Amino acid sequence: MKKWIIRILIGIALVVAIFVFSLPTILHNAGLHPEYPNSKVYEMKGKKALIITTSHAVLNNPGETNGKPTGVFASEMTVPYYEFQDAGMNVDIASIKGGEIPIDPQSFLFMIKSDADKRYQKDDIFQKKVKTSLKIDDIDFTKYDVIFLACGWGAAYDLGQSEVLGRRISEAYYAQHPIIGSVCHGALGLIQAKDTIGNYLITGRDMTGVTDKQLIELGITQTPLHPESELRNRGVNYKSNSGKRDIFETITVIDQERRFVTGQNQNSGHETAQKIMGILLENSARQVPD
C-alpha cells in the first residue's frame, strides 16, 4: 500500500515538474513575447536612440508608500534596446529621476523572461547604463533619432505626471526628425506634450497603449493613470486589439503623420521598434539627393 502511494506521489511530482518546465513554451505559444514575422535587418549606424523609463519602484495604492516592488518591466526596455543596438544605433538609457532604474522583479521569473532579458543579464555595459541612467532634465531630446518610452507599472506613477518629459517630447517633435515610440504604459509619457499654442500634441492622432480591460484582467487597477483612459481624455483616436481574454492581445499603431509609433503592450516591443526603424529608413531615403 505504501509503495503504491509513493508511486502515485512520484507520478504527480513528475507531471508537475514537466508542466513547470514547459511553462515558458506554453506562455510563448499563448502569445507572450511573440516574434515579429516581418522583422528585417536594418543598418542604422550613426543614428541614436534614447530609451526612457520610470523611476518609481513601488506598486502602491493612492496615499500609501508601501507595496510590492515594481519599476520598468524588463522586456519593455530590453527588447527595443537590442533591436536598436543590433541595427548599429548608439542607445542611451534615461529615467525620470536619473540614476539606478528599478526593474520589476517579476520580469525575470523564468516562465516570462524574454530572450532579450536573458541577454541583458549577461550584458555588463547595458546593466551599467541601467544603474547610472541619465536624468531627462539634462538631455537634449532633439539630438536623437528615436525617443522610446518603455513601460512597467512604475510608469503609471511618474511618466504622465512629468511636465519636464512633456516639454522634452514637444521639443523632439518640433525638431522634425526624431521618431517617438512607446509601448504599454509608456504612452503616458506623451500626455503632457503640447503644441505651440498650448493644445495637447497627441489630440486627433492614432495611438494605443494597454487597455483598461487588460489592466482589470491582470488585477492592477490601483495605479493613478491608465493609458487607455488618459489617451482618450486627450482626444486620441485610440486603437487596440481585443478578445475574450486580452492579456496577450496587442497591436502597433503608427499615427497619420508617421511621427509616433505606439504599441499596446509588452508583446508589441519587437514590432514597434522595427516599424520605427522602417520609418527612419524611409525618411533617410527621401533626404538623399537624386
What is each CA distance from 41 to 80, 162, 280, in whole angstroms? 14, 35, 13
From the list 31, 12, 61, 45, the residue with the least C-alpha distance to 265 is 31
Classify 177 as helix, strand or coil: coil
The pLDDT, as a whole number, for residue 105 is 97
The pLDDT, as a whole number, for residue 33 is 83
8-state DSSP, 200: B
Q: 273 burial class (0-12, 13-18, 19+ CB within 10 angstroms)? A: buried
47-287, which class in CATH? alpha beta
- Domain ranges in the chain? 47-287
Q: Is the pLDDT of residue 26 over 90?
A: no
Half-sphere exposure of 189 (CA within 13 A, CB side): 33
How many angstroms separate the CA atoms of 194 and 177, rounded?
A: 17
List pLDDT tens digits, range 63-103. 888 899 999 999 999 999 999 999 999 999 999 999 999 99
Spatial contact of 277 and 44, defined as CB atoms under 8 Å apart: yes
The pLDDT, as a whole number, for residue 243 is 75
Look up the pTM and report it: 0.93
How many angstroms separate the CA atoms of 65 and 85, rounded?
A: 36
Query: Which string of DSSP letters, residue by residue, matches 204-222?
Result: T-EE----HHHHHHHT---
List pLDDT tens digits, range 190-243. 999 999 999 999 999 999 999 999 999 999 999 999 999 999 999 999 999 987
Residues with Cβ within 8 Å of 262's Cβ and at least 6 positions away in sequence, in order, are 181, 182, 183, 186, 187, 207, 208, 209, 252, 253, 255, 272
How many angstroms separate the CA atoms of 46 and 41, rounded?
A: 16
Q: Is the pLDDT of residue 34 over 70?
A: yes
* Rg of the Cα atoms in the chain: 20
